Every structure is written in C-alpha cells, then in structure tokens.
C-alpha cells in the first residue's frame, strides 16, 4: 500500500515538475499548440476511474486497522489538489478580476499560461478519475449529504455543539463541503472549457469576456471555500480524518469512535440505504 501511494504521488509530482520546467523553456503556448491534451487527460482519468471502481475489493477490518484511502483515493485527492495549486499559483501570476497580475511580460514569455495548462491537465486527470470511480462504485451517499447530515451533522454538531453519532466513512461536514466544491468546480470547469475552446475555434469577444469573468468569480469562490475548509479542519482538530489522507488508514478503535456507521457496515457487511430525509434499511455491501 505504501509503495503504491509513493509511486502515484511521485508520478504526479514528476509530471508537474516536467511541465513546469518545459513551460519555462519554450516559446509555444500550450493552450494554442496542444489543447487536445486536456481532453485526453479527462478521458484517461475517467477510464482509469471506472477501472478502479470495477476492480477494487471491498473494505474490511484487518489486524485492527482499516484502509480508509487506497492508492486510487490518493490520486483523486492529492493529484487533483496539486493540479489546483498549480492553477491557483499561475492564476495569481496572470491576475484575475480586480487582482493585478504579478508577471508583466506575457508578450515575451508564455510561462504562467503554460503553468496554468499543466495545472489543468493534472487536475482533469485526478478529477475525472474521481468522477469515473464515484459513478461506477454506486455509493453515492458516501459524499452526498441528506437533510440530517446538513442540520444534524454539520450545523448541529459544529455550530450548536450538539452530539451527532451518525457519521459515515466521510463526516457530514465533509459531505457538505463536497457539495460546495462540486458546484463551484463545475462552474470553473464549464467556463474554463469555453476559454480553452477559444484557442481552437473563433468565439465572439463578448462571450469570451463573459466566461472569463465567470471563471474568475468561481475561482475566487473556490479560494475562499478552500481557506475555510482548511481552517475548519485545523481549528476543529479532526486529526484522524486529516492524517488518514497521509497514512491511508485508521485503527478499528478510531473508526468505531469517529465513523460508527461505516464501522458497523464493515462489521456486518450491510449498508444503509440513502434517503433525503434520513437513512433507512440496509443492503449487502457489494465488492
């Protein structure tokens, strides 16, 4: 498991490093010369995600530990995150909305634009890997909150300081955050796709300007949500959830205490059905 994670993260970091180095040694603008790579990255990520969903084994307790995040999860989470960090860094260099760009010599070097392109490719690979895996795993309630999750597990637990004992593999607060990231991410993806398309086909300047502003607004919202997300994780001291994104596992004791619904699923082999107003019934856990 550790070797698999190291290999995956090494490959992602190597891809970013190569892209950054090459971005600084070429006069070509990647968005103009090789825009099709973005489509390849999304398609490849989706296919690999589907393969992972169909081939991965079921979760189980082994020697007092539970693998909470496998190698594929590290690619989904950290691969996408590294791509996003490259996008944010290059976006700051380029400037957006009322924030002035740091680099003033865009006419002589496409470096920040190419870094943005590299970030897009890496983020699409990791993001669509997640989409393929998530859809074909058919465990949609893992990340989609219902009403009790929102009002009991998020508002009640963190703002009203009430007890909440229905945490699944992902905390109710994580599910709520996922909805926000998914909505904003979709806005960034769609508006960004129009901007990439402008490098291939002629698009009216007014439309391009509109989607540019839309892209920048969604990006600003994403930065705000990311900061809030990190501060909440650190401030609320959800250390087991945080460290499991590094080690990949949690102890059975910690799983039973922090994720009782998931722990019961692991012990019984049965899974609760999803309802908007609550969880009802159980079903056999599929491989």
pLDDT attached to residue 250: 87
pTM: 0.86
Asked if the model's pLDDT at residue 284 lies above 50, the reply is no
In a domain, 257, yes or no: no
pLDDT attached to residue 285: 44
Asked if the model's pLDDT at residue 106 lies above 70, the reply is no
209-223: pLDDT as tens digits? 999 999 999 999 999
Vertex 155 angle, CA 151 and 161, to 5°? 120
pLDDT attached to residue 283: 41
In a domain, 244, yes or no: no
In a domain, 167, yes or no: no
pLDDT attached to residue 282: 42
Return the bridge partners of 271, or none.
Answer: 283
77-93: pLDDT as tens digits? 888 999 999 999 888 88
In a domain, 103, yes or no: yes
CB 131 within 8 A of CB 49: yes
Tokens of 188: 């960034």
pLDDT band at 103, cuts 50/70/90? low
* 287 Cβ contact list (under 8 Å, min separation 6): 56, 57, 58
DSSP string, the chain: -HHHHHHHHHHHHHHHHHHHHHHTS----HHHH-THHHHHHHHHHHHHHHHHHHHPPPP-EETTEEE-S-HHHHIIIIIHHHHHHHHHHHHHHH-BTTBPPS---TTT--HHHHHHHHHHHHHHHHHHHHHHHHHHHT-GGGT---HHIIIIIIIIIIIS--------SS-HHHHHHHHHHHHHHHHHHHHHHHHHHTTTS---HHHHHHHHHHHHHHHHHHHHHHHHHHHHHHHTT-HHHHHHHHHSEEEHHHHHHH-HHHHHHHHHSEEEEEETTEEEEEEEPP-
In a domain, 11, yes or no: yes
pLDDT attached to residue 6: 74
Number of domains present in the structure of the chain: 1
pLDDT attached to residue 1: 54
8 is in which domain, residue-wise?
Answer: 1-137
128-172: pLDDT as tens digits? 999 999 999 888 888 889 888 999 988 988 888 888 888 888 888
């Amino acid at each position: 498991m550790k070797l698999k994670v190291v290999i995956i993260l090494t490959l992602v970091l190597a891809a970013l490093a190569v892209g950054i180095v090459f971005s600084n040694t070429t006069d070509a603008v990647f968005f103009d010369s090789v825009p099709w790579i973005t489509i390849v990255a999304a398609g490849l990520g989706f296919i690999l995600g589907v393969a992972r969903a169909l081939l991965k084994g079921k979760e189980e307790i082994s020697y007092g530990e539970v693998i909470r995040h496998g190698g594929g999860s590290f690619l989904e989470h950290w691969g996408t995150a590294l791509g996003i960090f490259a996008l944010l860094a290059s976006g700051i260099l380029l400037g957006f909305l009322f924030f002035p760009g740091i680099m003033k010599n865009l006419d002589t070097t496409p470096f920040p634009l190419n870094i943005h392109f590299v970030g897009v490719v890496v983020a699409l690979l990791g993001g669509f890997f997640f989409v393929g895996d998530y859809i074909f795993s058919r465990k949609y309630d893992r990340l989609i909150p219902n009403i009790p999750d929102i009002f009991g597990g998020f508002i009640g637990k963190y703002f009203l300081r009430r007890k909440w004992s229905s945490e699944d593999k992902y905390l109710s607060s994580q599910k709520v955050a996922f909805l926000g990231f998914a909505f904003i991410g979709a806005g960034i993806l769609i508006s960004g796709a129009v901007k990439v398309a402008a490098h291939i086909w002629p698009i009216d300047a007014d439309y391009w300007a509109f989607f540019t502003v839309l892209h920048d607004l969604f990006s600003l919202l994403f930065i705000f949500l990311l900061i809030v997300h990190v501060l909440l994780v650190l401030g609320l001291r959800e250390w087991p959830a945080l460290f499991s994104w590094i080690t990949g596992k949690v102890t059975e004791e910690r799983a039973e205490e922090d994720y009782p619904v998931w722990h019961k699923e692991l012990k019984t082999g049965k899974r609760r059905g999803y309802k908007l107003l609550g969880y009802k019934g159980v079903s056999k856990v599929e491989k």
